[in-house]
Chain A
Amino acid sequence: MKKIIVGLLFCLPIISNAQFKKAELKAAGLTCSMCSRAVDKQLQSLNFVDSVRVNLEEAIFTIYFNPNQIVAINDIKKKVEDAGFSVSSLKVFYQFTNQKVDENYHLNYHEMLFHFINDKPQILDGIIAFQIIGKGFLADKAWRKLESKIKKHIHPNAENSTEIKTVFHALL
């Protein structure tokens, strides 16, 4: 029991560090400031979102997350779709600590698993941005081009794990 508690204590700084800080979302199909405002309001209704800043001209939303709240990546996509639009790119900023990212590495985050599809292994330290690659996270045409390539990257063990509910592909 003691060992477990000590072990947990050691884990604490890592857990509080291991989180998404912010995201940069580009929306597709927006034609007016009313549409952007609808997306903005939808994003702000998420409990893990602290604030949203918008570049109206480019339809880019910078989403700042509440610290110590679980960031549900799929909910971000859902909210943009609820406003009547879709995501053409979603970049998330995550706190890494000297992490080697190669083809065997998966980022495991609260029932979500991120599988990196980069060819070259990298060491990541600090707040690093990666893009979510998948249906609904890219414009339709861009996803269709990538779809066949991505399927090769699916990790069989990750998909079958009972603890993992969602598998995302990520690109550094």
Chain B
Amino acid sequence: MKKTYKIDVDCANCANKMEQAAKDTPGVADATVNFMALKMNVEFEEGADVKSVMAEVLKNCKKVEDDCEIFL
């Protein structure tokens, strides 16, 4: 399953870091962050609980870039 989220982040490199952090989160099959459109596309693994996975993604993103937001 794929979902798109609006995000807020200030710099392009931070967006790259968010992408990496999201990819490394368990339950996420793949993720891309589009800095210019301020969007995150997340592809979830089969049977993953979207809500809890996204909470984890947000936590991991905050770890790599304090000044970011994902609008869940």
The answer to whether A and B interact is no
Interface residues of B (CB under 8 A from A): none
